[in-house]
Amino acid sequence: MTVFAGRLSVVAFRNVDVGHEYDDVRESTLHLEWGAPVTSAPLVARLTAPSGPLFFPVTAYGPDGGLDLDVYRTHVRRGVEAGAAAVFACCGTGEFHALTPEEFAACVRAAVEESAGRVPVLAGAGYGTALAVRYARLAEQAGADGLLAMPPYLVLAGQEGLVRHYREVAAATPLPVIVYQRDNAVFTPESVVELARTDGVVGLKDGLGDLDLMQRIVSAVRTELPGEEFLYFNGLPTAEQTQLSYRALGVPLYSSAVFCFAPEIAVAFHRALREGDDTTVHRLLDGFYRPFVELRARGRGYAVALVKAGVRLRGLDVGEVRTPLQEPAEEHVKQLARIIERGQALVEEGAGR
């Protein structure tokens, strides 16, 4: 578990041009006092009202396709300095599916070391139950503060089997577990109530997008477990696009893939949402997020590949995606550069108001 006490330096980005490496920054300091290991209660408390976006870093590869830990460390460190409230290492955006257990452990350990206790680090854990347990234990050994439990591999399981699977993952380590609902892991409200009753399971991340189901889930847990601190996350790709709707359901948290390559835009959106600045929220949705989502929809796997291309556009060579994903078309990368430039301009306009 991570222990930290002292000062946190937060770096806020401004006037960063596409093609330049995260330059022109101003630094401020925030005093935080921590002196105890992160356990379930502190982790939940730290994620309940995050000070910034939730950061899902990409995994960096070298020219030979092998893991590039130096670049990965730089990516994580810059994200923390840019205002991330938590690091979710080796999850969907981090190509969990493409990593060996050894690479996974090395990345989680690097994320923990670069975060240095300033923010919690959670790691992905998935595949079948036995492998998910193995990844959970590797994450614990690497110093992670929590787990994002990914859907099981391939199979379509019933509700009882799914609940048993996640209970076994939660029982394998003392790490708090957030269950990821998407694809072949879709829960009834009754099953989520059972998960919320499970020791170690502290939240649900929704990557399905069924708002009716999410409303019934939130209602069921609230009714059956009044006062329970259970976290809900919007985990759709480019979650900012739908966060106004999710927030209305009682889902205040969301993942931000955009933060990987445009932290200044993601931070501005997060701040505007938190402060009720609807003008800025709508301006960024209309001028940046919607065009980005529409571009992302033009290629399979772009939820990862386009994000990685964005990080490269900003001057950090994190390499290409691993197969079976493929790189975005050249014209789409050019469009992405224009969208980022437009987003930066919108942030600057807002700062000048």
pLDDT digits (tens, 9 = 90+) for 223-275: 999 999 999 999 999 999 999 999 999 999 999 999 999 999 999 999 999 99
Residue 108 lies in a domain: yes
pLDDT of residue 25: 31
Q: What is the pLDDT of residue 49?
A: 86
Task: Work out the pLDDT band at 37, boundaries 50, 70, 90.
Answer: very low
Tens of pLDDT, residue by residue over 157-182, are 999 999 999 999 999 999 999 999 99
Query: 110: domain range?
Result: 6-351
Pair 281, 244: CB distance under 8 Å:
yes
| 268-287 residue pLDDT tens | 999 999 999 999 999 999 99
pLDDT tens digit sequence for 52-71: 999 999 999 999 999 999 99
What are 110's two structure tokens? Answer: 């690097």
User: Is residue 324 reached through a cis peptide bond, with omega within 30 degrees of 0 on the bond before it?
Assistant: yes
Mean pLDDT of 188-200: 98
Q: Take residue 160 and report the two structure tokens written for it.
A: 């009882």
**Per-residue pLDDT, 184:** 95
Domain for residue 233, yes or no? yes
Determine the Cα–Cα distance for residues 197 and 220; give it in Å rounded to an integer: 12
Element (H, E) at 233: strand 231-234
308 is annotated as an active-site residue: no
Locus of tokens 């050249």: 330
The count of domains in the chain is 1
Q: Is residue 1 part of a domain?
A: no
Catalytic residue of the set 180, 232, 289, 302 = 180
- The three-state secondary structure class of 199 is coil
Asked whether residue 212 is assigned to any structural domain, the reply reads: yes
Query: Which residues touch 282 (CB under 8 Å, ≥6 apart)?
Result: none
Cα 10–Cα 72–Cα 201 angle in degrees, nearest 5: 75
Residue 196 corresponds to which amino acid?
A
| DSSP structure class, residue 100 | -
CA distance linking residue 256 with residue 266, whole number of Å: 7
The Cα-based distances of 102 to 105, 108, 117, 135 in angstroms read 5, 10, 23, 10
For the CA atoms of the chain, what is the radius of gyration? 19
Per the annotation, the verdict on 205 as an active-site residue is yes
> Within the chain, where are the H helices?
40-48, 69-81, 101-115, 129-141, 159-172, 189-196, 211-224, 243-249, 263-275, 278-284, 290-296, 302-313, 330-351
Cα separation, 219 vs 49, whole angstroms: 20
What is the CB neighbour count within 10 angstroms for residue 14?
12
Question: Which of 166, 205, 246, 289 is an active site residue?
Answer: 205
The CATH number assigned to the domain holding 80 equals: 3.20.20.70
Share of the chain above pLDDT 70, in %: 88
Question: What is the separation of C-alpha 304 from the centre of its chain, rounded to a whole number of angstroms?
Answer: 12
39 assigned to some structural domain: yes
Give the span between the Cα atoms of 238 and 339, in whole angstroms. 14
| Position 3, amino acid | V
Confidence of residue 350 (pLDDT cuts 50, 70, 90): confident
In sequence order, the β-bridge partners of residue 344 are none
| Residue 2 scores a pLDDT above 70 | no
User: Is residue 228 in some structural domain?
Assistant: yes
- Per-residue pLDDT tens digits for 290-339: 999 999 999 999 999 999 999 999 999 999 999 999 999 999 999 999 99
Dump pLDDT digits (tens) for 143-160.
999 999 999 988 999 999
For residue 124, being part of any structural domain is answered with yes
CA angle 94, 98, 104 (to 5 degrees): 65
Close Cβ partners of 114 (under 8 Å, ≥ 6 residues apart): 73, 76, 77, 80
Distance CA 218, CA 331 (A): 42
Give the residue-averaged pLDDT of 29-40: 37
